[in-house]
Amino acid sequence: MSRILLVEDDPGVLDLFEEALLKAGYQVDAANTFQAADDLLMFGDYALLLSDGWLPGGSGMELADRAKLKGIPALIVTAYIDKLRQSGSPINWADYTVLPKPITLDALIDGVSRMIHPSQSAYQ
């Protein structure tokens, strides 16, 4: 069973995403801040980092960069793509897989599945 690190600062969205992931058969560790996620990422073994883009204390892209160093793929889900792009940060968006919010739970689970099992993707 694949373990996912879910990072979301909105408690309602965190609960909703976590429940959907659990129902889809994934194990989930959840965090609501950059620091909490970074601590879990440092010691955990994950199949995927699923993170909001804009977090207290940092960004999902920063977490994605740290996950990449451990060989963990990342999926960023954010409503603030334009704000992040205009933040002045030298982000190379080609380095990240990003899904926009609002997002349906079916689209979220599909995106997660394609990241964890790319060979099973209907798009290849």
Q: Structural domains in the chain? A: 3-115 (3.40.50.2300)
33's tokens: 């801040």
What pLDDT score was predicted for residue 90? 60
What pLDDT score was predicted for residue 95? 78
What pLDDT score was predicted for residue 83? 66
Preceding amide of 73 cis, omega within 30: no
pLDDT per residue of the chain (124 residues) written in tens, 0 to 9 = 799 999 999 999 999 999 999 999 999 999 999 999 999 999 999 999 999 998 999 989 899 999 999 999 999 998 876 666 666 666 666 678 989 899 999 999 999 999 999 887 544 4
Maximum Cα–Cα distance for the chain, whole Å? 39
Sequence-distant (≥ 6) Cβ neighbours of residue 20 within 8 angstroms: 105, 108, 109
What pLDDT score was predicted for residue 96? 84
